[in-house]
Amino acid sequence: MTVTIRLATPADAPGCLAIYAPYVAETAVSFETEVPEPAAFADRMAATLALTPWVVAEHRGRIAGYVYATLYRQRRAYQWSVETTVYVAADYRGRGLARVLYAALLDCLRRQGYRNAYAVITLPNPASVRLHEALGFGPIGVFAGTGHKLGRWHDVGWWHLRLGELDERPAPPVPLPGLTPPPRFDPWPLPPGR
């Protein structure tokens, strides 16, 4: 069985939101405290796709996971840096899907001309730390007691991956819709579950 890896569309919002909602409602992985409304989530996806990739994994007509990047900060001097996020449905975890999604995302970001990717991880989260470090992200700091959710304070770790050279006169990153040729991804053979 293969998984289709592709750029998302706002029509994928219900499938992505179905994956995301338990992380919001039941964990401190996301610091959102209320599950977003479907229309607001679709708007969030559309806004992301206007600049940066949002990549989904589809298996048997269902979204199995997704990864995306957003601008790190709005000020112009930060335009070469992004923050990345990945979520995988519970029944697809531990099968390498997050790594495949990330590879597709990072390839797009490099082609667009981004230089830095940052991952923000609520701690402890050894699985996410292992994933990011296996992809080449390195730890750069911990913000102690940064967020309060589910009755306790949580530390947040930051990881960094250099995507490209820090040349003296970098061209602005290419918005995703202007990337030529458009991103295309190979199907991925899904390993059996545990």
How does pLDDT run across 52-82, given as a tens digit for each residue?
999 999 999 999 999 999 999 999 999 999 9
Going by C-beta distance under 8 Å and a sequence separation of 6 or more, which residues neighbour residue 172? 79, 113
Q: Is the pLDDT of residue 24 over 90?
A: yes
* Per-residue model confidence (pLDDT) at position 119: 98
- The pTM (predicted TM-score) of the whole model is 0.95
Nearest CA-CA partner of 159 in 136, 191, 127, 177: 136
Range of the domain at 167: 2-189
Helix (H) or strand (E) holding 102: helix 97-112
The pair of three-digit structure tokens given for residue 93, joined into one six-digit string: 């975890």
Instruction: Specify the pLDDT at position 128.
Output: 97
Q: What is the tally of structural domains in the chain?
A: 1
- For residue 13, tell me if it sits in a domain: yes
121 found inside a domain: yes
Residue 117 has pLDDT above 70, yes or no: yes
**Strand 116-123, strand 81-88: pairing:** parallel
Instruction: Give the Cβ contact number of residue 6 at 10 Å.
Output: 16
Q: In the numeric block, which tokens belong to residue 70?
A: 């957003």
Over residues 94-101, the mean pLDDT reads 95
The reply to whether 105 falls in a domain is yes
- Helix and strand tally (H, E) in the chain? 4, 8
Over range 154-179, report the average pLDDT. Answer: 97
| CATH number, residue 34 | 3.40.630.30
Asked whether residue 183 is domain-assigned, the answer is yes
Share the mean pLDDT of the chain.
96
Q: What is the pLDDT of residue 194?
A: 58
**pLDDT at 193 (0 to 100):** 72
Give me the mean pLDDT over the 143-154 stretch. Answer: 97
